[in-house]
């Protein structure tokens, strides 16, 4: 990918053909930066995937703001190849649940999932049953736009689509968590039924389904731990030496 949202790193535009504007950057003293970083980490470290939702309503404005936050993600050539499709209709949520469970029933009990994958999922307590898809006040399905279209109808290529949409998904999740909502990354496989149910065109493909809402009173989550910094970080690694034939 280019530098984030399409910048090549140059401080000058291309002779005015592609105009640049000043970057309104707020710099903080390092102690403030550390404090902000620690607070943000602690906030995200408290995030958990939730499968037990309350049916308490959530305002549309909160969903809009989460989408807007997700849409600030960098993308290949700034194509912004994502679509957030929001559903609060009880009828559509019921249809999504029915279709998702039909696929998941085949995954869990029909032989689609290998035993090793089922064993890996066991600590999470997941099954083919997805009642939360009807209980949660909102479902948002994030679609990846495989390609776009020019004004004359010709195909417009998108770049680094999965990478771009994946980053947008992460920022969307962070925004929901920051505002005090919970969600779950649900990827029923295959997900093609969502394209038809939600009336999306052929150049869009479902990427992740997010049930969104408040956790039900007494909600529980699996007892899990995250990897430590030592487990995930490597500093100044040595290049791999070529083996002598």
Q: What is the pLDDT of residue 9?
A: 55
Per the structure, the count of domains in the chain is 1
User: Is 81 part of any domain?
Assistant: yes
Q: Could you tell me the residue range of the domain that residue 66 belongs to? A: 48-218
Within 8 A by CB and 6+ apart from 195, the residues are 143, 202, 204, 205, 206
Average pLDDT, consecutive stretches of 10 residues, N- to C-terminus, the chain (245 residues): 60 73 96 98 97 97 98 98 98 97 90 89 91 97 97 96 98 98 93 96 97 97 95 95 73
Give CA–CA dist 223/92, Å, rounded.
33
Q: What is the length of the chain?
A: 245
- pLDDT for 12 equals 60
- Give the H/E segment covering residue 237: none
- pLDDT of 65 reads 98
CA–CA distance, 104 with 203 (Å, rounded to integer): 25
Residue 4: the pLDDT is: 65
- CATH number of the domain enclosing 189: 3.40.109.10
Q: Provide the pLDDT for residue 17.
A: 85
* pLDDT at site 188: 86
pLDDT of residue 151: 93
Residue 229 lies in a domain: no
Q: Is residue 28 a part of any domain in this protein? A: no
DSSP for residue 243: P
Spell 25-57 as b/e; 16+ CB within 10 A means b: eeeeeeeeeeeeeeeeeeeeeeebbbbbbbeee
Residue 109 within any structural domain of the chain:
yes
- Is residue 61 classed exposed, middle or buried when 0-12, 13-18 and 19+ CB atoms within 10 A define those classes? exposed
Task: Look at residue 14 in the predicted model and tell me its pLDDT.
Answer: 61
The pLDDT assigned to 40 comes to: 97
pLDDT for 2: 61
Residues 32 and 28: their CA atoms lie apart, in Å, by 6
In a domain, 63, yes or no: yes
**What is the CA angle 52-125-111, rounded to 5?**
120
């Amino acid at each position: 990918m280019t530098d984030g949202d399409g910048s090549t790193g140059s401080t000058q535009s291309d002779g005015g053909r592609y105009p640049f504007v000043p970057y309104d950057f707020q710099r903080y003293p390092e102690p403030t930066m550390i404090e902000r970083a620690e607070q943000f980490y602690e906030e995200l470290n408290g995030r958990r995937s939730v499968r037990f939702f309350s049916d308490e309503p959530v305002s549309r404005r909160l969903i809009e703001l989460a989408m807007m936050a997700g849409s600030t993600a960098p993308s290949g050539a700034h194509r912004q190849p994502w679509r957030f499709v929001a559903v609060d209709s009880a009828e559509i949520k019921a249809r999504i649940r029915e279709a998702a469970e039909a696929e998941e029933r085949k995954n869990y009990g029909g032989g689609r999932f290998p035993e090793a994958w089922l064993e890996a999922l066991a600590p999470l307590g997941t099954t083919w049953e997805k009642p939360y898809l009807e209980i949660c006040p909102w479902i948002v399905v994030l679609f990846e736009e495989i390609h776009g279209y020019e004004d004359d109808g010709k195909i417009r290529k998108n770049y680094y689509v999965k990478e771009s949409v994946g980053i947008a998904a992460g920022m969307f999740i962070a925004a929901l968590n920051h505002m005090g909502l919970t969600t779950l990354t649900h990827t029923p496989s295959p997900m093609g039924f969502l394209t038809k149910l939600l009336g999306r065109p052929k150049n869009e493909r479902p990427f992740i389904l997010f049930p969104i809402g408040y956790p039900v009173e007494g909600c529980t989550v699996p007892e899990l731990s995250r990897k430590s910094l030592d487990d995930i970080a490597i500093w100044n690694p040595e290049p791999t030496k070529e083996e002598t034939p």
